[in-house]
Amino acid sequence: MPGLYRDEGVVLRTIKLGEADRIVTILTQGHGKVRAVAKGVRKTTSRFGARLEPTSRVALQCYKGRELDVVTQVETLEAHRALREEYVLFTHAIPMLEAVDQVAQEREPNPALYRMLSGALRTLAERRSALVTPAFFWKLLSLEGFHPMLEGCARCAEDDVELVAFDLDEGGTLCRDCARGGGRPLSPDALDLLRRMLGGALNGVLAETPGPAAHEVEHLGIRALEHHGERRLRSTALL
């Protein structure tokens, strides 16, 4: 049948459509971000309604439409119920979905982004660490081409100086002199955490108890994403 395709994906969000249907936004592995109509999902008799919830990873079959595709089959690969039902996990999962929804392009495959998101949701469900989401934000920025400069001053290029701030326009740390002209204060602990998160030490980071530095890194990551995306991340108000 022409126009039918199979893929797997993570449900980013759903909105109501009419009495019984929903429009589901899914980051797929092979077709990029897809928006599809799921018919009858809000009826209690629906075969696949409960499978199409944000954070779920599903295998699906869709019929390709001009703007909206139509979901014809869904199977759950990872339900991730805890990410929706436990408030603390929910508040950390939803901002990752929103951030991905903002950067992902419709119908443009981005397998690296898909791997990152499905991996982060699984890690959050298993390790339940408040450090997963900030690490995800910074890795997402890096994937999008905004890898921060964390060694030396991003403005004057001095590398043997104390780094005390982070500048969103420069995309990196600032020395004390340059920080007088702007930038957001960055504590030594937060800088150290950020370096380890992005420097291949994430596994060790996730074993730590999140302290004030984790919040700093998280909020700076949110501001950096908003800066580059030129849009607010609404769901981060919960963090």
Closest distance between Zn ion and the C-beta of residue 173, in Å? 9
163 makes contact with Zn ion (CB under 5 A): no
Closest distance between Zn ion and the C-beta of residue 190, in Å? 18
Interface with Zn ion: number of residues (CB under 5 A): 5
153 makes contact with Zn ion (CB under 5 A): yes
Cα pseudo-dihedral 207, 213, 216, 221, rounded to 10? -40
Burial 183-202 (b: 16+ CB within 10 A, else e): beebeeebbebbeebbeeeb
Q: Which of 175, 205, 206, 225 binds Zn ion (CB under 5 A)?
A: 175
Closest distance between Zn ion and the C-beta of residue 163, in Å? 9
Nearer to Zn ion, 108 or 169 (CB): 169
Nearer to Zn ion, 116 or 175 (CB): 175
Nearer to Zn ion, 22 or 155 (CB): 155
178 makes contact with Zn ion (CB under 5 A): yes
155 makes contact with Zn ion (CB under 5 A): yes
201 makes contact with Zn ion (CB under 5 A): no
Nearer to Zn ion, 94 or 164 (CB): 164
Q: Which of 88, 156, 237, 238 binds Zn ion (CB under 5 A)?
A: 156
Nearer to Zn ion, 97 or 178 (CB): 178
193 makes contact with Zn ion (CB under 5 A): no
Three-state secondary structure along the chain?
A: CCCEEEEEEEEEEEEEECCCEEEEEEEECCCCEEEEEECCCCCCCCCCHHHCCCCCEEEEEEECCCCCEEEEEEEEEECCHHHHHCHHHHHHHHHHHHHHHHHCCECCCCHHHHHHHHHHHHHHHHHCCCCHHHHHHHHHHHHCCCCCECCCCCCCCCCCCCEEEEECCCCEEEEHHHHCCCCEECCHHHHHHHHHHHCCCHHHHHCCCCCHHHHHHHHHHHHHHHHHHCCCCHHHHHC
Nearer to Zn ion, 164 or 190 (CB): 164
Closest distance between Zn ion and the C-beta of residue 111, in Å? 38
Site map (CB under 5 A) of Zn ion, residues 111-150, x = contact:
----------------------------------------
Beta bridge partners of 11: 26
Residues 5 to 64: which contact Zn ion by CB under 5 A? Answer: none
* Residues in contact with Zn ion by the rule CB under 5 A: 153, 155-156, 175, 178
